[in-house]
Amino acid sequence: MITYVVTGGAGFIGANFIHYLFKTYDDDVRVINIDCLTYAGNLHNLKACEAHPNYRFIKADICDSETLLKELKDESIDYFINFAAESHVDRSILGSGPFVQTNIVGTQRLLDLARTLDVKRYVQVSTDEVYGDLDETGFFVEDTPIQPNSPYSASKAAGDLLVRSYYETHKMPVVITRCSNNYGPYQFPEKLIPLMISNALEGKSLPIYGTGTNVRDWIYVEDHCRGVDMAARKGVLGTVYNFGGDSERTNLDVVKWILKSLDKPESLMEYVEDRKGHDFRYAIDFSKAKAELGWKPSVDFETGMERTIAWYLDNRSWWECIKSGDYQAYYEKMYGKKVGKLDE
Ligand code: NAD
Ligand code: DAU
């Protein structure tokens, strides 16, 4: 029996990761999910796992070392996977405090905790955004210099550097993963793809930042989850693995694809003020993960998007519930000044 501790397991990728573990290993794994349930954490994402005898949920902040030590001291932990983070670039532009607290201080607390608990492997789930951005050419490789441009990516980069330092200083068994833009079920509707799908279904305008020509490399979330698991099990300690979807698209390509698939008019698109410090392009070279882990993405953009749109159509109450709560205040603050006419 292999025991995973997953932090941030009630969020988008963390929840998909827990589903992936039970689907792949069933009774051969135990999963302990630690999440403090910020606006982005949602226990509905894990309804299907709740009854599993090998699943345990602990509601706690990753900065709260005392509680975590008390809860985990008797556990024998194989893989400790840190997904917990403040993850939205736009929110980090509105205010960076929570990003510094969770993504930097939280990472430091988890590293000390994981050392005390003597975990077999600690995996830091990071992002390609730590590398900054690219022009039309080139790819991020694992030793591309760290040059983050947003408070979000700067806080993730600081977390990565702490992880690296614990390897160099304490010989702690760590691996860092850096992935491109994920999409799929359970993604909070503040991020591009779920925001555009849900706005289109509600007949609302679709806010396109700037010219819409920025490029992202889209990866279906389950491919990322498989990569994180492979890095935990087989990754070379003290090193970084990049994961990408081999699916570069401009934002306009993505939004038009969604509108076409939902049979909605392009007139719903509304060009709005650009994001401050908006990274132009991300593109991932994942040849190291391919060579060392035998990993490559298995779901192409069209298939992944069809699955994703089907999920948002089938789970309308999931996102309608989110969009009817505090999220509305964020949307007004974020888009109120950008969009000419806000939808009621
Ligand atoms: P998310 O915002 O959907 O979920 C984050 C989860 O962490 C939530 O459940 C939240 O409640 C929890 N959390 C936040 N602060 C916490 C704290 N202090 N203590 C305990 N729990 C806390 O994020 P996501 O998109 O699922 O991203 C997960 C991780 O993957 C993040 O580290 C992110 O940087 C990284 N990542 C995301 C993407 C992407 O495209 N979404 C790509 C590459 C890497
Ligand atoms: O690259 C990995 C990163 O991808 C992760 O580390 C982050 O956690 C994740 O949020 C994501 O960051 P992005 O900033 O690339 O994702 P987002 O979905 O916010 O935006 C994608 C692109 O779409 C970006 O160019 C900005 C644009 N955009 C976004 C929103 C929310 C719009 O044009 N309009 C919008 O309303």
Instruction: Evaluate whether residue 271 is within a structural domain.
Output: no
Strand 248-250 and strand 215-220: pairing? antiparallel
Confidence of residue 332 (pLDDT cuts 50, 70, 90): confident
Instruction: Evaluate whether residue 314 is within a structural domain.
Output: no
Percent of the chain with pLDDT over 70: 98
Instruction: Evaluate whether residue 202 is within a structural domain.
Output: no
- Asked whether the beta carbons of 34 and 5 are under 8 A apart, the reply is yes
Strands in the chain per DSSP E? 2-7, 29-35, 55-59, 79-82, 121-127, 174-179, 181-183, 206-209, 215-220, 240-243, 248-250, 269-272
Q: Residue 177's beta-bridge partner residues? A: 125, 241
Average confidence (pLDDT) over 225-244: 98
Total domain count, the chain: 1
Instruction: Evaluate whether residue 338 is within a structural domain.
Output: no
pTM of the complete model: 0.97
Structure confidence at residue 326 (pLDDT): 79
Instruction: Evaluate whether residue 336 is within a structural domain.
Output: no
Residues 6+ apart with CB under 8 A from 97: none
CA–CA separation, 344 and 341 (whole Å): 9
Average confidence (pLDDT) over 211-221: 98
* Secondary element (H or E) of residue 107: helix 107-117
Structure confidence at residue 340 (pLDDT): 54
Burial of 275 (0-12, 13-18, 19+ CB in 10 A): middle
pLDDT digits (tens, 9 = 90+) for 163-204: 999 999 999 999 999 999 999 999 999 999 999 999 999 999
Instruction: Evaluate whether residue 81 is within a structural domain.
Output: yes
- Asked whether the beta carbons of 286 and 295 are under 8 A apart, the reply is yes
> Does ligand 2 have an atom closer than 6 angstroms to the CB of 4?
no
Which CATH number belongs to the domain containing residue 71 in this structure? 3.40.50.720
Average pLDDT over the chain, rounded to whole?
Answer: 96
> Does ligand 2 have an atom closer than 6 angstroms to the CB of 217?
no
The residue with greater pLDDT, 338 or 101, is 101
Instruction: Evaluate whether residue 169 is within a structural domain.
Output: yes
At 28, the amino acid letter reads D
CA–CA separation, 303 and 167 (whole Å): 39
Q: Which residue has the tokens 């995973």?
A: 4
Instruction: Evaluate whether residue 234 is within a structural domain.
Output: yes
**Domain enclosing residue 159, as ranges:** 2-183+220-243
Ligand 2 centre to CA of 275 (Å) is: 10
List 35, 61, 128, 248, catalytic entry = 128
List 35, 129, 133, 217, catalytic entry = 129
pLDDT digits (tens, 9 = 90+) for 66-118: 999 999 999 999 999 999 999 999 999 999 999 999 999 999 999 999 999 99
pLDDT digits (tens, 9 = 90+) for 113-156: 999 999 999 999 999 999 999 999 999 999 999 999 999 999 99
Confidence of residue 339 (pLDDT cuts 50, 70, 90): low
CA–CA separation, 318 and 329 (whole Å): 18
Q: Which ligand has its closest atom nearest to the C-alpha of 83?
A: 1
Structure confidence at residue 341 (pLDDT): 47
